[in-house]
Amino acid sequence: MAEAISKIEKGQSAYKVSKVYGIPPSTLKDHARGQYKGYDTSFGPSMLLTSEQEESLVQYLLHMSERGFPLTRVMTRRLAGEIIQCAGHHQIHEPLISG
């Protein structure tokens, strides 16, 4: 986002920058005008796993795969759900496992 806004501030059109970065032109214009200064803005859904938890999960998945026991998507989602619950995040907005 910062790189895209920097290009707009240097004179590139918000439309062209939006095509390169996949960010709506109105969002880029708002940020370039400083409409969100002082706010902690994030994009997409909030993270349920910390970076460290995610990295540990990835390392475990790679470890198991290298040993001939790759985890399925369902197994991975269940494991992620267990990590989230153990961390004390009991309020999950979307089910990690469907069905």
**Per-residue pLDDT at 75 exceeds 50:** yes
**Per-residue pLDDT at 80 exceeds 50:** yes
Tell me what the mean pLDDT of segment 48-66 comes to: 92
Distance CA 41, CA 50 (A): 17
Measure Cα distances from 7 to 12, 29, 31, 62, 96 in Å.
6, 11, 12, 38, 38
Computed over every residue of the chain, the mean pLDDT equals 82
Tell me what the mean pLDDT of segment 42-47 comes to: 68
**Per-residue pLDDT at 35 exceeds 80:** no
Which residues, in sequence order, are CB contacts of 71 under 8 Å at separation 6+? Answer: 61, 64, 65, 79
